Structure 1
Amino acid sequence: MWLEAISWERLTDARADRIGKLTAADGGPWLRVAIDGAPTAHPEGLAARLADVLRIRGRSVQTVGTGGFLRPASLRYEFGPEDPDAYYDQWLDTGALWREVFNPLEADGSGRILPDLWDRPASRSDRSSAIQLASTSSATSSGCTQGASGKIRGLERRLTELMERHFPQLLTRVGIGPDSAATLLITMGDNPERLCSEASFAALCGVSPVEYSSGPQRHHRLNRGGERRANAALYRIVQTRLRFDARTRNYYERRTAEGKTRREIIRCLKRYAAREVFNLVRPGIGPHEAT
């Protein structure tokens, strides 16, 4: 067996030398390079170093991280009734990655790619603009699809354990999973001075109606303020209950018969969900150990 001591710099230079001699297999103008590895290997760091070295050598490079193409939990839940493993197995939106990055870089492609599709920390669509690559550019895709899935599953198990240990009463209710429970608890913990009542918590989450009455007529409009991540967590709870909770479906049918729209009914259900969560985790009591 032949072993060679290597550093990040030597590894980067060696890969750059090899890439400098490569051409696209399909004969197109854009060379595509994928860098994969376990999370502990930090493939995104190697991709960034490699891109810097190639740019110094006069080659145009665009890096695309797989983290920008991860599906949010709310979208993975949509496949739940047909595929129970979708929540764990469909983290990476491979269809979007091919559509926005790899297909445009085919031999007959346009060369116009979208570097990221989803802002995971903000849990919203990214606002990045499409990029037109030069005909001599290289596109490096960094990520760890299997490694990232394993790491994410480990974090989810850890989060579930923490919720079951400190706030088990939340997980006993239909539609409240570890992710949504943690999001709502973080919102409470970040704003303890604002939680005077369940109504204040609803306002904090942006699910309390705002009155704009005039004279004898009383009207309410949608509250567009509040913590949007907590609002999204309540929305996921309501959507799950509409599918799997008979009491929620009965309420939905009754309010529909009264002439309410789907949006109005969902707003009411989000308000009820906020009240339920607040009463389960009342400020001042704090977390407790499960018995």
Structure 2
Amino acid sequence: MKVRPLTFDTLVKEIADRISEMNGRVRVLIDAAPAAEPGRLADAVVEPLRSLGRTVQRVSIQDFLRPASVRLEHGRTDPYSYRHDWFDYKGLQREVLDPAPAGKVLPSLWNAATDRASRAEYVDLPENGVVLVDGTLMLDRRLPAELTVHLWLSPGALRRKTTEEWTLPAFDDYDPVADLFVRYDHPERPGLVES
């Protein structure tokens, strides 16, 4: 195993370049524990893609939560529930990832603040469009995507950076497979794992 050192900016460029080489509509999943802030990286990739002529629709797993009655059925701090019941991966697949190749996506499904459907409208995704999804615990769900990125934190970094410590056991058995596997203990100095 070889690890290629990068900077945050060169990681953004690496992801944007890989996406730009793909034809048609592209689905990208950027996966990490919340402590690694996958949304920050996903947001950073948007402008480089737009400058390359790609239309980007940003989606976050945080807008695909399950209702509180399901998420919190076993309490607010149950790691098993966090791993298996919090996020509506089937809804994400049904409303975003499966229909994206046909050109329509729903940018959000659930409003966690109101615990109600977001009532978002479907948006058109042009032929060169990119759906860029950030989230956690997505890459063992067999979700369809043309590019997957995982930001890996070492166990020590995960413990240090996680504010909701009760979620830590949810990552114990998580073993994602990704197209780009990035060591991300230091976001300004990530390392791309190459085999």
The amino acid of 2:106's aligned partner reads L
The amino acid of 2:105's aligned partner reads I
Match of 1:228 in 2: none
**Residue correspondence of structure 1 range 101-112 to structure 2 within 5 A:** 101-106=96-101, 109=102, 111-112=103-104
**Residue correspondence of structure 1 range 118-267 to structure 2 within 5 A:** 118-145=110-137, 154-155=165-166
Deviation of 1:16 after TM superposition, in Å, equals: 1.0
- Change in Cα spacing, 1:153 to 1:9, as seen in structure 2 (3 Å) is closer
SS at match of 2:99: helix
**Residue correspondence of structure 1 range 2-13 to structure 2 within 5 A:** 4-13=4-13
User: Aligned partners of 1:13 and 1:153: how far apart in 2?
Assistant: 31
Contact 2:35 2:163 in 1 (8 A): no
The partner residue of 1:32 within 13, 21, 27 is 27
User: Aligned partners of 1:67 and 1:22: how far apart in 2?
Assistant: 27
The partner residue of 1:53 within 48, 54, 63 is 48
Contact 2:104 2:125 in 1 (8 A): yes
- Structure with higher Rg: it is 1
Greater Cα shift, 39-48 or 123-132? 123-132
Listed one character per residue, the Cα deviations across residues 44-89 of structure 1 (whole Å, up to 9, x for unaligned) are: 11111111110112111111111111113213467x7xxx997442
User: Aligned partners of 1:95 and 1:152: how far apart in 2?
Assistant: 27
Contact 1:117 1:125 in 2 (8 A): yes
Question: TM-score by structure 2 length?
Answer: 0.62
- In the alignment, structure 1 segments of 5+ residues that lack a partner are 24-28, 158-291
Question: TM-score by structure 1 length?
Answer: 0.43
Listed one character per residue, the Cα deviations across residues 106-142 of structure 1 (whole Å, up to 9, x for unaligned) are: 4xx3x21111111123332213221111111011111
User: Aligned partners of 1:121 and 1:73: how far apart in 2?
Assistant: 10
Tell me the percent identity: 34
Q: Which has the higher contact order (CA 8 A, sep 6+)?
A: 2
- Change in Cα spacing, 1:39 to 1:70, as seen in structure 2 (3 Å) is same
**Number of aligned positions between the proteins:** 143
- Change in Cα spacing, 1:155 to 1:120, as seen in structure 2 (3 Å) is farther
**Residue correspondence of structure 1 range 268-279 to structure 2 within 5 A:** none
Contact 2:79 2:166 in 1 (8 A): no
Contact 1:76 1:86 in 2 (8 A): no
The amino acid of 2:165's aligned partner reads G
- Change in Cα spacing, 1:48 to 1:77, as seen in structure 2 (3 Å) is closer
User: Aligned partners of 1:2 and 1:103: how far apart in 2?
Assistant: 34
The amino acid of 2:44's aligned partner reads R
Match of 2:143 in 1: none
Match of 2:146 in 1: none
User: Aligned partners of 1:90 and 1:129: how far apart in 2?
Assistant: 25
Match of 2:93 in 1: 98
The amino acid of 2:30's aligned partner reads I
Contact 1:68 1:120 in 2 (8 A): yes
Deviation of 1:154 after TM superposition, in Å, equals: 3.1
- In the alignment, structure 2 segments of 5+ residues that lack a partner are 139-151, 153-158, 169-195
1:115 is the counterpart of 2:107: yes
**Which structure features the higher share of helix residues?**
1
Deviation of 1:153 after TM superposition, in Å, equals: 6.6
SS at match of 1:62: strand
Deviation of 1:156 after TM superposition, in Å, equals: 7.5
